[in-house]
Amino acid sequence: MTLLHLLVGNYYDVKDWPAIDDELFKYLSDWSCDHRRSLAGIKSHPAFNFISTPRRLRNWVVKNLPIEIDEKWMVALQRLDTNKAPFHTDTIREWSYNCVIHGEGALTHFKDHMNGPTVQTVRYDKNKWYFHNGSLPHAVTGANRTRVAVTIFKFEPEVLGSLVATPLLVEAYRKNPYFYYDQCN
């Protein structure tokens, strides 16, 4: 099955991948809820942002998940700091693998077209991996103020999405594909 086949008509898929081990999971949850972790000058939406990420997360992914990643792949933390996000298509990616580490319980809704009806809804469970099709319009409702997920994806600077363009994020990535890793961890 090709990636194009996965994207067409597929909103999400549950992956049978290992859960993040308890010690790293707790560390990431505690780390990610510290609001000082936002990447300065890179904020892409008032409520949603990539945050500084401990390098040990990437090391865990390389060792434990059945995907081969290189410098074109981001293994990062993303945080939603509100109880909802409007319908949008993703910026800098068409799809991702995600694992909620804090604030489970929110619903993700998908549409086939921005002006169309909601066609699929899913609740992503904590510490479970999912394929997420960000090229289709999707929204989040019912989040408990702070929702954090590990996100893994191939960085695609030409994908601008519908919500906002992120030239500062693209510029930072082109200068250093690992710009979002915390240098101390």
Q: What is the mean pLDDT of residues 145-161?
A: 84
pLDDT confidence tier of residue 134, bands split at 50, 70 and 90: very high
| Token pair in block for residue 113 | 């077209």
pLDDT confidence tier of residue 6, bands split at 50, 70 and 90: very low
> Which stretch of DSSP H or E encloses residue 31?
helix 22-32
CATH at residue 172: 2.60.120.620
CA triplet 117, 123, 34: central angle to 5 degrees?
115
Instruction: With beta carbons less than 8 A apart as the criterion, state whether 137 and 162 touch.
Output: yes
Q: What is the mean pLDDT of residues 5-9?
A: 47
What per-residue confidence (pLDDT) applies to 2? 44
Query: What percentage of residues in the chain have a pLDDT greater than 70?
Result: 82
- Nearest Cα neighbor of 30 from 54, 5, 64, 59 is 54
Residue-wise pLDDT for 41-92, tens only, equals 555 555 567 788 999 999 999 999 999 999 889 999 988 877 888 898 888 8
- Report the number of distinct structural domains present in the chain: 1
| Token pair in block for residue 81 | 């700091």
| This prediction's pTM | 0.87
Q: Residue 162's Cα: distance from chain center in Å?
A: 16
| Domain interval for residue 123 | 3-182
